[in-house]
Amino acid sequence: MNRTDEKAQAINLPPVYNHVEKHGAFPEISHDENARFNFLTNLNRHLATVVKPGNKVAFDKRIKPWFQARTGHDFHTPAEVKEAMQQDTYYQMSSALRRATLEMTQQASRSMVLRQIDSLADKASYYNDQRPETLTLNPDLEIPHYLKVVDYHCLPGGYYTEYIAGDVANAAAEDASFFVTTSGEFGELSDGSGKALVNWLTHNYPEFKPRRILDIGCGAGLNTLPLAIENPDAEVIGIDVSAPMLRYGHARAVSLGVENVRFIQANAETIPFDNDSFDWVQSTMFLHETSIRAINNIVREVYRVLASGGLMLHVEHAQNTAEMSLFDQFMRDWDTFNNNEPFYRVMHQMDKTEWMKSAGFQSDNLLQFGIPIVNNNHQLVGNGFQARQNVFGAWK
């Protein structure tokens, strides 16, 4: 850690954008773009650690007493909290700043990749041509309706849109901006969730040696590669519906020298593999970007392709609990209404236990736990984003 890093950590600043590991498929970043990303990274940290907590102060000091005086009772539902908070000027300011920061981040990353869209496609092609047998695309695959009706994360066109032949632009934008939106707290390769998951498995089930691993909704493979790296004797397969994400993710894997991974364009609702063919099936922050119909199809498909004694794990939002305050439930759903995440709130309300049992998993084999994010940026994780992520799953 250099002196600049030490001073930044002492005053709770995020790591500088220079810490991003620029693999072979990564976009070229100019001086001004780097400065813009540094500003946005720090703004995200400031909003998360300074501005956002002020909403609880406004709720306790102003909104709750006003509501009780007006109605004669306390809040009964998160919807009532939402209606009241939306009238408060502090929440309006906080929410507007957060939404504006998301839009600025998307604009910064998109303008960067679009100016080099041809060279990004060429770089991806250069790496993908070195190992064409481990990338399988299906131009006839239908994009699910739930992805076409909204631009998730405010990314114009979503993650599946292609602007030119061999396009990887939106995938590169996601890779470049993830460090910004999470204040760098998932590491230099933004793979802290995947690393945390393999660490947990190694510590708790050292005898578990999967031979075939399936990562559904893998995107650009940020959290797929740690699974392959930590299980060098296993065949790791990532599936996703987005061709640009898979092209970019495969090129990224080749450039980083990870050889035991394949990327296949497929829908997790109809997994194109035989019954009992995987020892470990998992996803990372994927399920909340689907739909009720899709998620029920997905869990049945996961159960089908999972071998006896195999493991299903999903890094995903935890459900609301009886102990959770109505204010906290309201704040958890912010992305549903402001970040084009329509299924976010449903995931918070969904009974994960019943969902897993509906596919055939037995109650005694269910799992739910938290994992600390692995971060190699020499920062104290959790000040700007979440220090731990929720995981649920089951043994078959």
| Beta pairing partners, 391 | 315, 369
The residues, any chain, with a CB within 8 Å of residue 229's CB and separated by 6 or more, are: 258
How far apart CA 125 and CA 123 sit, in angstroms, is: 5
How far apart CA 337 and CA 351 sit, in angstroms, is: 21
Q: Token pair for residue 68?
A: 């009780």
Q: Which is nearest to 147 in space by CA: 250, 40, 269?
A: 269
Q: Token pair for residue 98?
A: 């957060």
Q: Which is nearest to 386 in space by CA: 195, 192, 222?
A: 192
Q: What are phi and psi of 80, to 5 degrees?
A: -65, -40
Which DSSP symbol is given to 308?
E
Predicted pLDDT of residue 375: 77
pTM given for the model: 0.93
Domains, the chain, with CATH or none: 16-395 (3.40.50.150)
Which DSSP symbol is given to 143?
P
| Chain centroid, CA 71 distance in Å | 40
Predicted pLDDT of residue 223: 96
Predicted pLDDT of residue 387: 64
How far apart CA 383 and CA 307 sit, in angstroms, is: 39
Q: How far is CA 41 from CA 25, 30, 125, 169, 178, in A?
A: 22, 16, 30, 21, 10
Query: Residue 39 is which amino acid?
Result: F
- Report the SS3 class of residue 124: helix
Q: Are 325 and 313 in contact (CB under 8 A)?
A: no
Listed as ranges, residues in the chain with pLDDT below 70 are 1-12, 376-387
Predicted pLDDT of residue 377: 46
Residues 298, 212, 186, 126, Cα dihedral to 10°: -100
Predicted pLDDT of residue 247: 98
Query: Residue 259 is which amino acid?
Result: E
| Tens of pLDDT, residues 129-164 | 999 999 999 999 999 999 999 888 888 899 999 999
How far apart CA 146 and CA 241 sit, in angstroms, is: 12
Predicted pLDDT of residue 12: 67
Q: What is the CA radius of gyration of the chain?
A: 21
Residues 46, 382, 113, 151, Cα dihedral to 10°: -90
How far apart CA 362 and CA 356 sit, in angstroms, is: 8
| Residue 206, burial from CB neighbour count under 10 angstroms (0-12, 13-18, 19+) | exposed
